[in-house]
Structure 1
Amino acid sequence: MESGKFIIIDGNSLMHRAFYALPKLTNSKGFHTSVIYGFVNMINKILEEYKPQYIGIAFDRKAPTFRHLEYAEYKAGRHKMAEEMAEQIPVLKEVLVAMNIKQSEIDGFEADDIIGTVAAKCDEKGISTLIVTGDKDAFQLISDNVHTLMTKKGISEIEEYDIAKLRETYGIAPAQITDLKGLMGDASDNIPGVPGVGEKTALELIQQFGTVEDVLQNVAEIKKNKVRENVSNNMEQAIFSKKLATIVKDAPIDFNLEDYSLKEADKEKLYELLTELEFKALVEKMCGNLPNAVAAEPIKIIVEEISSIDKLKEVLEEAEKSGRLAFKIDDEMGEMLRTVYIDVAGKQYRFAVNDSSMRLVKSIMEDPEVKKSGHDIKQDILLLRKYDIEVNSIGFDTMVAAYLLNPSKGSYKIRDLSQEYLGAGMDGYDSKGVDQVQRYGATVKKVSELQPVFTGKLEEYGMMELYYTIELPLVAVLADMEYEGFNVDKEILQVLSADFAGQIEALTADIYRQSGEEFNINSTKQLGAILFDKLGLPVVKKTKTGYSTDVEVLEQLSAKHPIIEKLLEYRQLVKIKSTYVDGLIGIINPDTGKIHTKLNQTVTATGRLSSTEPNLQNIPIKTENGRQIRKVFVPKSEEYVLVDADYSQIELRILAHISGDQGLIDTFRRNEDIHRRTASEVFGVDLDEVTATMRGRAKAVNFGIVYGISDYGLSQDLKISRKEAKQYIDNYFARYPMVKQYMIDIVEAAKADGYVKTIMNRRRYIPEIASRNAVNRNFGERMAMNTPIQGSAADLIKMAMVKVYEELKKRNLRSRLILQVHDELIVETHKSELSEVKQLVEECMEKAIELKVPVIADISSGDNWYNAK
């Protein structure tokens, strides 16, 4: 499996986005430049945010494609490209050559086909691939390894789609996109589809029947007369339209991965081109280190250098008197700290890191009477820990405050916040021509200026309690958790690796035996030939290159032949071994023997924490082999055990609280099995008559309701008819009517306000709810229903984390909170403190926030994460 990330860009799509999104720009000679400017800025943004190892751009050619030859009206009616746009394309391509980015275009094929082919080849190699485009046709290329980055609102915003996001938004799989286009057509490409069938109807038909072919075979079952008539009369046209919409994955290109490697730009050529275009900011950003490049305009900030220890004492004494200190550490040299920047009473200072200065820093940082402020202060806390310095009394974090004010932004750079909230940019902040003194001096200055503005906003939005009792104290908690890390037993990892390798080898032999020959199990083509040609299994789905053998297909065939179960188990094991066993071995810190995951506080729109580098929240638990991974996570010594505390059915308890449904509240107050009670109500039987199957289906209904599930979604989950699924949902709402009313009310509130709130007043803005597109609007409604529940669960677990952390410190215990996974906390506990810690954690979790129903935390312990759960 190859490593690295591949970005493939739809050049034509991005050009059109730039042309129509930006105002018309020209240089002093009158040459239009907006397309080039927007395009290059977008590439820079992608390179900065996604850091790919490979990048390529595909363009259309003027020559007719094979689709034009098959259908003369293909793309007929499109307006001729505007001259202002066309004249920029040759220059744009020159700029891309200077940037050393590979471009591809082929006679007879579209850029989509090049992208499809490149993505397929990367997929085969296991390379994580992102397709940058504004064309939804690319959704059909999504796979486990291939995602799309859809440009939104011109070129300033992008949204990532994977298989789950596509299904959540449209209710269909990637392979069904061509079926969707086969029915609804595509006006932009002049693909006819079926007259009278739009996106909504097409989605309903695909969700009900599966593919265009299935729709045509079951045309008599279409309920709406007009739709049934139109489909019946346009069968061949639907099939043909699907074919036109299908992206080729085997276009004749010579694919050499190294050709797409990210390379250093030809800066002299790039400087010449960008200067001619008069892109001063881009020259500074991309060519700033050239001797003759234009220097960046300095930020007008005076940063006084403190060169004597007496002066540093004087400045820090002033900070002590004022009780406030904004600070930032220059860590450009990596592990070595070079300079500390501070803002005291509106003045900016800097001083070198040495033993004498750090003794003074330790004194003021650990002084609880001085409020410390910063931007992403957790990073600075971790840096100071290397010098045995604790940061007490965190007064403000501008990044965390900005996140609360708008959790959907995705990026909270101090420069952007300054522009948005102060109306004063920090021009050149990210340019190479700006020295570090100005950069860090500007940061501490803006932290001090933004703090009162953000405080006013938080007060206006009713978020002061959320900020000061949960989010701000949580910064120190997360810093401590990251610093502590989670100990890993490498020997167990190696044993698991060998065990899984043995299982994979046995499965491989079993698959060969059942198929009657040896072949490449990882080859879709070879596997398809075995399953459908040799074994004669029914064909579920085909792609342009042959039979589909994805997970959905295999699951549908699971009852047809015993080889399918082995194949599913094989794929699962290969992924677990490569990602969670061999993958973990390479990221153990050699100095500590631990894994120090990064816990992200300002990423998710719901308020939940996320984990990266690596993602410990994603350790698989659905299978026994997956759960085995938890055995490698162990306490730091034999004197410790792991205490695992997990909220019981917290989202359902929160649903009972915020909906006020008395039936649901009473069930929890009686400490009944909620799924058994729901089964009794939904199926109309006594509690003692509820079967395991009934309880399982009721559980799916309970959790499905939390996420605004549809009858179609429930039918897919339970493998029952939509009619039966609808009956389950109707019965549920009949029994718990206030849950239904809550959902109606929260959607209406979201439409009126544009946002929804959690128990602690956390906001999430939902612009999708006002969309004219029915699919997007429905997605927004589901978000409105779920966010107050999921976001309140985030409030609860975060409050519990703060309480547990503070109580452990207050009691001077040796035990430490080391990980949070969704509704679960893990405390590395000294054996002598086990009983006390279990009681402490239970009380902190269950009393974090008072609800109308009991909050229950299940507490257990063990010598590893597996045994503790």
Structure 2
Amino acid sequence: MSKKLVLIDGNSILYRAFYALPLLHNDKGIFTNAVYGFTNILLNILENEKPSHMLVAFDAGKTTFRHSTYKEYKGGRQKTPPELSEQFPLSRELLNAFQIPHYELEMYEADDIIGTLAGIGEKEGFEVKVISGDQDLLQLVSDHVTVDLTKKGVSEVESYTPEKMLEKMELSSNQIIDLKALMGDSSDNIPGVPGVGIKTATKLLKQYKTLDTIYENLEEISGKKLKENLQNHKEDAFLSRELATIDLDSPLTISLEELGYKGYEYKNIYELFSELEFRSLLDRLHGEKSDEEVVVELETFDYQIVDEITEDLFTGKDALHVEMITDNYHEANIEAIGIVNENGNYAIKTEQALTSEVFKNWLQDQSKEKYVFDAKGVKVALLHRGIKLEGITFDLQLASYLLNPSDNNEEITAIGRRLGEKNVFLDEEVYGKGAKRKVPEFEKVSEHVARKTHIIYTLKDRFMKELINNEQLELFNELELPLATILAEIEYFGVKVDIDRLKEMGKELTDRLDTIESDIHDLAGEKFNINSPKQLAVILFEKLKLPVIKKTKTGYSTAADVLEKLEPEHEMIPKLLLYRQLKKLQSTYVDGLLKVVRKDTHKIHTRFNQALTQTGRLSSTEPNLQNIPIRLEEGRKIRQAFIPSEQGWVMFAADYSQIELRVLAHISGDKKLVEAFQEDKDIHTQTAMDVFHVSESEVDSNMRRQAKAVNFGIVYGISDYGLSQNLQITRKEAKTFIDKYFSVYPEVKQYMEDIVQEAKHNGYVSTLMKRRRYLPEITSRNFNLRSFAERTAMNTPIQGSAADIIKKAMIDLDSRLKKENLQARMLMQVHDELILEAPKEEIEQLSKIVPEVMENTVLLDVPLKVDYSFGESWFDAK
């Protein structure tokens, strides 16, 4: 094996990474961006360099031997940000996990350690690689010492050999010290010679070779001012050379033998990466391993494979896990079933469990408490097998989501490991990833399932206590857990789709797109591929000579925001924008819906994500019902394809009117806002009247539009810039508008200020039902991060409370429909809207019940208002 010594400038790389990457932190609020970038560098080095010996050198402190020569050395440097300081101990922890030696020496800098070791290594026949962001280290370059300097943050490096030095800098490594002597270094407070920059210094050194020779030939140097500066600052120049010179004979207490590198233990890396939440880096490490390689050894785990299911297996307080390895539980196989209780840990074969009457009776027994992960998914999977699961009193996924909404709550093992329950594999370590995903023999699956079920059982009491401490037990028991059952029934039943109508829409869109494409080609004067940004850019910016708004690495940008700004410039642009919208509509919604419709029932079975968004809103996948575009008529028509599942039935839609503004009125207590809603005024007209000081009859459509933009913008903490973009007015006009708004609604402004202070004090904000959103960036020194957190603090209590209200309305409505013995059933929830289907004869009764329930589900200081309609399709019900 070749001898290769890699020496890393720890301080330099950490600083580079910190400023190159946005602030990142884990769930405990520990900042990790510098360590993340540092880790990427380390992994690249290990992969590309394959060192036999290795060391990361750090500065030992602020004072060095150079300060005895020049007290102002490194003076004037800004204090290290605390967000970076706290990452230095983490970096050492990281190096210990990688088993990479690290070292610091009192009174010396990392450069001196590296310089000394590089010299020793070269003498002993090593190829030496130095990695830093500091050009000072270029003085070490030789035939056997290469210096890699980071560029563009930490993602790229440039390697310097003697040849590269001459090519790039026109100097040898020996001249770097003299270069620094002449030009100085503001970052280290090395004075140099005033007026001498890199060009002048390089020119002098190319001609005279060394600093000494320059001063020996001072009289022949041209340029009066340059000569004067050199003469007057001779002492500074030689002092600068002394300060810039790396000590190649530092009194090290380590030897090269101690720097031998033999690799790392994956287990140690895994545990640290999990704690720091470096998930993408974990994926990268997994990619280095073969499927057969054991990733980590787990402690012995006692469990039993159940041979015969008897009633003695259950205690009435049991953890249940139904193992599925694909996300779509509507179609997934059940690989095994786990049961854990005070008697032990058990695994059962799927067929054995689902054909056992004892087991099925236990599943359907409401009086037997069951603790699960993802109640909704488990319920749906069992419903597809004719079993109605009852008695769920704890859901690990929902509890974890409420306690830590920003975390990855999609896997039992991820939650467990985050909380110290590390005696379990990740799913991908058992089944593989992507195309390599496969189910191993039952013995391996059974142990994995038993371990996962054990986590549910172990964490249940801990999570329930935390929910109580957070005053979130009611939110969990009365809102999220009952909602999971309702969503499971909605998903399992599905919603019917008119396939013929969808196909007809697809053809209509194709015809429309062909017409628009032809118009665009006529306007361009030639045919080209509209979907090719490169070809489109040539037409717009070279042929039509439209103003260039933005450039990318590959050329002119033709992104949507660019086209929107160009819209007044040419009649082709509106057609291009429309073409793109219709193309997306066709591919995402027409073709997309056709792909997920079940051929036997003509139904789609979406999955509502209950533990995803930080505001508490539901989202949906396969298909995404939340994002069907309704601003375009063609988008609204997509809803024509959603129809009742039975003859003689109709679709019924009910949605909250301006619920977020009503919640804002309640939370802020603003008298004028509350009064407007209590008197059932048009809030946008009222705002226009108050801001523009006009009567109701004088409010024109433009005034109302502006008032509407600021009303909804305020909810999202809109800035004057954001409002100016929305309304196409100047920032000054937008600021005036916002100032007037706050003068009219002063309690709203007070709420905005108070909630930001509350977030800074508590670290989180809450909804009316105690849902929390944690905001660690609220005290960040980074303006952009802090501003985003402040806007989030303003918005979350409003948007989150609105989300909680419609969730509670679903629970109340489900109860009321059953109480009234109605056949009507809920099919979908889309933002503030509930969609039902019902027999025509129930519509009169439904028209009273639905608004009544939704408007009274939560009592605020302002009335909630619900609009409803019905028709032959979802489109007709709007």
Q: Identify the TM-score tier after normalising by the shorter chain.
A: 0.5 to 0.7
- Compared with structure 1, are the counterparts of its residues 811 and 326 closer, same or farther at alpha carbon in structure 2 (3 Å cutoff)? farther
Amino acid across the alignment from 1:821: V
**Match among 730, 748, 751 for residue 760 of structure 2:** 751
Residue 624 of structure 1, CA deviation: 0.7
**Match among 691, 702, 705 for residue 714 of structure 2:** 705
What is the identity percentage for the equivalent residue pairs of Structure 1 and Structure 2?
42
Could you list the per-position Cα deviations for residues 455-501 of structure 1 after superposition, in whole angstroms to 9, with x for gaps in the alignment?
A: 11111111111111101111112211221222111111111111011
Query: Is 2:345 aligned against 1:344?
Result: no
Alpha-carbon distance between aligned partners in 1 of 2:139 and 2:317, rounded to the nearest angstrom:
57
Trace 1:581-600 onto structure 2 (pairs within 5 A).
Answer: 581-600=590-609
User: Does the 8 Å contact 1:346/1:445 carry over to 2?
Assistant: no
User: Does the 8 Å contact 2:337/2:353 carry over to 1?
Assistant: no
Query: Is 2:323 aligned against 1:305?
Result: no
User: Does the 8 Å contact 2:397/2:409 carry over to 1?
Assistant: no
Q: Which region of structure 1 is more displaced relative to structure 2, 543-552 or 456-465?
A: 543-552
User: Does the 8 Å contact 2:823/2:838 carry over to 1?
Assistant: yes
**Match among 683, 686, 694 for residue 703 of structure 2:** 694
Trace 1:403-414 onto structure 2 (pairs within 5 A).
Answer: 403-414=401-412
Trace 1:226-245 onto structure 2 (pairs within 5 A).
Answer: none
- Compared with structure 1, are the counterparts of its residues 296 and 558 closer, same or farther at alpha carbon in structure 2 (3 Å cutoff)? closer
Query: Is 2:320 aligned against 1:327?
Result: yes
Alpha-carbon distance between aligned partners in 1 of 2:447 and 2:536, rounded to the nearest angstrom:
60
Alpha-carbon distance between aligned partners in 1 of 2:532 and 2:620, rounded to the nearest angstrom:
32
User: Does the 8 Å contact 2:414/2:426 carry over to 1?
Assistant: no
User: Does the 8 Å contact 1:299/1:429 carry over to 2?
Assistant: no
Q: How many residues align?
A: 640
Could you list the per-position Cα deviations for residues 208-246 of structure 1 after superposition, in whole angstroms to 9, with x for gaps in the alignment?
A: xxxxxxxxxxxxxxxxxxxxxxxxxxxxxxxxxxxxxxx
Secondary structure of the 2:876 match is helix
Could you list the per-position Cα deviations for residues 724-750 of structure 1 after superposition, in whole angstroms to 9, with x for gaps in the alignment?
A: 111111111111110000011001101
- Compared with structure 1, are the counterparts of its residues 834 and 135 closer, same or farther at alpha carbon in structure 2 (3 Å cutoff)? farther
User: Does the 8 Å contact 2:413/2:425 carry over to 1?
Assistant: no
Alpha-carbon distance between aligned partners in 1 of 2:812 and 2:741, rounded to the nearest angstrom:
36
User: Does the 8 Å contact 1:328/1:342 carry over to 2?
Assistant: yes
- Compared with structure 1, are the counterparts of its residues 571 and 682 closer, same or farther at alpha carbon in structure 2 (3 Å cutoff)? same
Alpha-carbon distance between aligned partners in 1 of 2:386 and 2:596, rounded to the nearest angstrom:
24
- Compared with structure 1, are the counterparts of its residues 533 and 415 closer, same or farther at alpha carbon in structure 2 (3 Å cutoff)? closer
Secondary structure of the 2:449 match is helix
Amino acid across the alignment from 2:300: K
**Match among 803, 807, 820 for residue 816 of structure 2:** 807
Amino acid across the alignment from 1:389: I
Residue 546 of structure 1, CA deviation: 4.2
Alpha-carbon distance between aligned partners in 2 of 1:805 and 1:135, rounded to the nearest angstrom:
54
Amino acid across the alignment from 1:519: F
Partner of 1:279: 266
Task: Could you tell me which runs of 5 or more consecutive residues in structure 1 were left unpaired when the two chains were aligned.
Answer: 1-9, 43-74, 91-106, 113-132, 137-186, 189-273
Residue 332 of structure 1, CA deviation: 5.0
Residue 669 of structure 1, CA deviation: 0.4
User: Does the 8 Å contact 1:18/1:38 carry over to 2?
Assistant: no
Partner of 2:198: none
Secondary structure of the 1:867 match is coil
Alpha-carbon distance between aligned partners in 2 of 1:365 and 1:843, rounded to the nearest angstrom:
35
User: Does the 8 Å contact 1:374/1:447 carry over to 2?
Assistant: yes
Query: Is 2:378 aligned against 1:369?
Result: no
Residue 284 of structure 1, CA deviation: 9.2
State the TM-score, normalizing by the size of structure 2: 0.67
User: Does the 8 Å contact 2:353/2:359 carry over to 1?
Assistant: no
- Compared with structure 1, are the counterparts of its residues 78 and 786 closer, same or farther at alpha carbon in structure 2 (3 Å cutoff)? farther
Residue 868 of structure 1, CA deviation: 1.1
Alpha-carbon distance between aligned partners in 2 of 1:627 and 1:867, rounded to the nearest angstrom:
10
Residue 294 of structure 1, CA deviation: 4.7
- Compared with structure 1, are the counterparts of its residues 812 and 30 closer, same or farther at alpha carbon in structure 2 (3 Å cutoff)? farther
Alpha-carbon distance between aligned partners in 1 of 2:795 and 2:136, rounded to the nearest angstrom:
43
Alpha-carbon distance between aligned partners in 1 of 2:816 and 2:707, rounded to the nearest angstrom:
39
- Compared with structure 1, are the counterparts of its residues 346 and 749 closer, same or farther at alpha carbon in structure 2 (3 Å cutoff)? farther
Query: Is 2:542 aligned against 1:530?
Result: no
- Compared with structure 1, are the counterparts of its residues 81 and 644 closer, same or farther at alpha carbon in structure 2 (3 Å cutoff)? farther
Partner of 2:391: 393
Trace 1:192-231 onto structure 2 (pairs within 5 A).
Answer: none
Residue 834 of structure 1, CA deviation: 2.4
- Compared with structure 1, are the counterparts of its residues 514 and 429 closer, same or farther at alpha carbon in structure 2 (3 Å cutoff)? closer
- Compared with structure 1, are the counterparts of its residues 701 and 364 closer, same or farther at alpha carbon in structure 2 (3 Å cutoff)? same
Residue 863 of structure 1, CA deviation: 1.4
Partner of 2:564: 555
User: Does the 8 Å contact 2:400/2:409 carry over to 1?
Assistant: no
Alpha-carbon distance between aligned partners in 2 of 1:327 and 1:82, rounded to the nearest angstrom:
65
Amino acid across the alignment from 1:340: I
Query: Is 2:415 aligned against 1:417?
Result: yes
State the TM-score, normalizing by the size of structure 1: 0.67
Alpha-carbon distance between aligned partners in 2 of 1:355 and 1:532, rounded to the nearest angstrom:
66
Amino acid across the alignment from 1:415: T
Alpha-carbon distance between aligned partners in 2 of 1:286 and 1:76, rounded to the nearest angstrom:
28
The root-mean-square deviation of aligned C-alpha atoms, in Å, is 3.8
Amino acid across the alignment from 2:522: R
Amino acid across the alignment from 1:798: K
- Compared with structure 1, are the counterparts of its residues 81 and 739 closer, same or farther at alpha carbon in structure 2 (3 Å cutoff)? farther
Residue 528 of structure 1, CA deviation: 3.3
Residue 361 of structure 1, CA deviation: 2.9
Residue 392 of structure 1, CA deviation: 2.1
Largest Rg, 1 or 2: 2
Partner of 2:486: 477
Secondary structure of the 1:850 match is coil
Alpha-carbon distance between aligned partners in 2 of 1:809 and 1:424, rounded to the nearest angstrom:
42
- Compared with structure 1, are the counterparts of its residues 735 and 390 closer, same or farther at alpha carbon in structure 2 (3 Å cutoff)? same
Amino acid across the alignment from 1:304: Q
Secondary structure of the 2:568 match is coil
Task: Could you tell me which runs of 5 or more consecutive residues in structure 2 were left unpaired when the two chains were aligned.
Answer: 1-16, 22-32, 57-89, 99-131, 157-186, 189-260, 271-281, 431-439
Trace 1:604-619 onto structure 2 (pairs within 5 A).
Answer: 604-619=613-628
Alpha-carbon distance between aligned partners in 1 of 2:689 and 2:154, rounded to the nearest angstrom:
48
Alpha-carbon distance between aligned partners in 2 of 1:450 and 1:547, rounded to the nearest angstrom:
54
Trace 1:6-25 onto structure 2 (pairs within 5 A).
Answer: 17-18=35-36, 20=38
- Compared with structure 1, are the counterparts of its residues 683 and 822 closer, same or farther at alpha carbon in structure 2 (3 Å cutoff)? same
Q: Which region of structure 1 is more displaced relative to structure 2, 471-480 or 281-290?
A: 281-290
Secondary structure of the 1:826 match is strand
Alpha-carbon distance between aligned partners in 2 of 1:570 and 1:30, rounded to the nearest angstrom:
59
Alpha-carbon distance between aligned partners in 1 of 2:474 and 2:353, rounded to the nearest angstrom:
39
Partner of 1:824: 833
